[in-house]
Structure formats: C-alpha cells, structure tokens
Amino acid sequence: MSRVPIIAGNWKLFKTSKEAIELASGLLPLVKNKSNVEIIISPVFTVLERVSKVIAGSNIKLAAQDCFWEEEGAFTGEVSPSMLLDAGCSHVIIGHSERRQYFGETDETVNKKLKAALSKGLTVILCVGETLQEREMGKTFDLLQKQLKGGLSGISSNSFDKIIIAYEPVWAIGTGKTATDQQAEEVHAFIRSEIGSFYSSLVADNIRILYGGSVKPENISGLISQKNIDGALVGGASLQVESFAALVNAV
Ligand code: 13P
C-alpha cells in the first residue's frame, strides 16, 4: 500500500480572475520540484478555464468546488461534470460542509453528484464532518457513518481509485481551531475502518483521507505524520502563495 499524499487548496468564494492567475502562477515555481505529493487547487467556476491554462503541463491539478448531477437541461445556475472537464478540471469537491450548511446539500444530493462526476471520469473529493454540537453530543461517529453510507450509496469498490475523502470538522473550519492530531487521527482511523467494512480492506488501505479545518504551515507536520491522515484540504492558508507552497513543501 502506498498512498501519495495530497495538498488541496479550496479557494472558496475568493479571487477574481486576475488574483487567481497571480496565485496559480506564483505557486508554479515554488512547488514544481515536488513529485511525492499531489497538488490540487480549486478556484471558483468562472476562473477554472483560465487557471487551467496557467497550470497546464505542471504538477498542479484543477478541481471545481461543486457540480450538478444532470448533464444539461433547464437547471439555471448549475454546472455539469462534463462542463468541468471541458474547463480543464480533473477533480471536483462534493458535499463541502458549507454546501450542506448554506445550500441545502444532503447526503442524497451528494450521492447523485458523486455518481454523475464519477461517470464522467472526474475524481471526487467527498467531504464529511460533524458540527460542534454533534461532537459535544457524542454523535460524531454516527453522523460520519451516516454521511459516508449516504454519500457512497450504490458506489462499487472499483470506483475507489477516483474517490478521496476529506474529513472536515465544521467547528474547525475557518475558526482557527484545528482538531488535535489525535482527534483527527481517531476520526480518520474510524473512516478508514468504515470503508473497510462497507467494501474491503484493500479499498480501505488505498483510499486517501484528507483532513481539513484551519490547516496551516505550523500545524501540517503533526497532522500529516498520523498514520491515517493522507494530506489536507486547505481553505484560508491556500489563498496565499507562500503559505500554500509551505504546506506543499512540508509534506
Ligand atoms: P480553513 O482552512 O479556512 O479552515 O477551511 C477549511 C476548508 O473548509 C477547506 O475545504
């Protein structure tokens, strides 16, 4: 088993095209010699194509932050997996907690999106994670089990080379509160064992599980050195060339 680590930057609702191009071009020389880590950036829809031209031929891959499940039709405001491929994406983030919290995403819609994205050959970063209230009520593991079961419903084990899981405790996102290395590792080990029991130990051994929530250059080493943490999905610290490059180079 060898799981190549991943550092993925979720740019969320930040960066105009000029800023996005500057950020992507600034990263290129600083990470170009990294071959032992997969690097992914995820700008807003409107700049995907332009950023894809900037990173073409490099070791940086492109992800969208969401997609719809239908290919085309009267669905105002949506973007389909084929359109993301067309814009240069290889990856798509699905089920981010902000989509669940503010835009009505459910395990059912996550599942539909995941199936649609996989059917077009995109690699999916499936996000799961509990809120502070759920953690305090002792519901973390039940909730994660529900999100995994729902999100992965009907997905067969041979799709797993195109699935990455991101564990992002909602209480750690943008709050400066990172889960401790042990808290994160405990949940990652749980997710891996759940995948093992839904599928097989081979699938569980190979799937990459990223941690997300206030990851910074100062705390990446402790997280990434945990046995079941295979990288990070980074918000705030992915918005500056120096901090994102430092995260990549810390792996
Ligand atoms: P922050 O790194 O800003 O906490 O965001 C994490 C996140 O939501 C990445 O998807």
In whole angstroms, give the CA distance from residue 173 to residue 44: 18
pLDDT at 174: 85
Ligand 1 atom nearest the C-alpha of 98 is: 8
Does ligand 1 come within 6 angstroms of the Cβ of 215? yes
pLDDT at 176: 82
In whole angstroms, give the CA distance from residue 173 to residue 169: 7
Active site residue 96: yes
pLDDT at 175: 87
pLDDT at 228: 98
pTM of the model: 0.97
What sign for the dihedral angle of Cα 110, 111, 114, 120?
Answer: negative
Does ligand 1 come within 6 angstroms of the Cβ of 40? no
pLDDT at 247: 98
Does ligand 1 come within 6 angstroms of the Cβ of 236? yes
pLDDT at 24: 98
Does ligand 1 come within 6 angstroms of the Cβ of 10? yes
Choice among 98, 105, 134, 168 that is catalytic: 168
Ligand 1 centroid – CA 97 distance (Å): 10
pLDDT at 1: 58
Q: Would you say 130 and 140 are in contact if contact means Cβ atoms under 8 Å apart? A: yes
Does ligand 1 come within 6 angstroms of the Cβ of 235? yes
Task: Give me the average pLDDT of each 10-residue run along the chain (251 residues).
Answer: 92 98 98 95 98 98 98 98 98 98 98 98 98 94 98 97 97 87 97 97 98 96 97 98 98 93
Degrees, nearest 5: CA angle 195-152-45: 120
Q: In a mutational test of the pocket of ligand 1, which residue from 65, 211, 233 has the highest number of ligand atoms less than 8 Å from its CB? A: 233
pLDDT at 249: 96
Choice among 91, 96, 134, 194 that is catalytic: 96
What amino acid occupies position 31? V
Does ligand 1 come within 6 angstroms of the Cβ of 214? yes
Ligand 1 atom nearest the C-alpha of 233 is: 9
In whole angstroms, give the CA distance from residue 162 to residue 215: 24
| Surface-to-core class of residue 159, CB atoms within 10 Å of its CB (0-12 exposed, 13-18 middle, 19+ buried) | middle
* Residues shown for the chain: 251
Ligand 1 atom nearest the C-alpha of 236 is: 3
Ligand 1 atom nearest the C-alpha of 213 is: 4
Does ligand 1 come within 6 angstroms of the Cβ of 234? yes
Does ligand 1 come within 6 angstroms of the Cβ of 29? no
Q: Would you say 71 and 38 are in contact if contact means Cβ atoms under 8 Å apart? A: no
Q: In a mutational test of the pocket of ligand 1, which residue from 96, 173, 218, 238 has the highest number of ligand atoms less than 8 Å from its CB? A: 173
In whole angstroms, give the CA distance from residue 25 to residue 51: 9
Strand segments, DSSP code E, in the chain are 6-10, 38-42, 60-64, 91-94, 123-128, 163-167, 208-212, 231-234
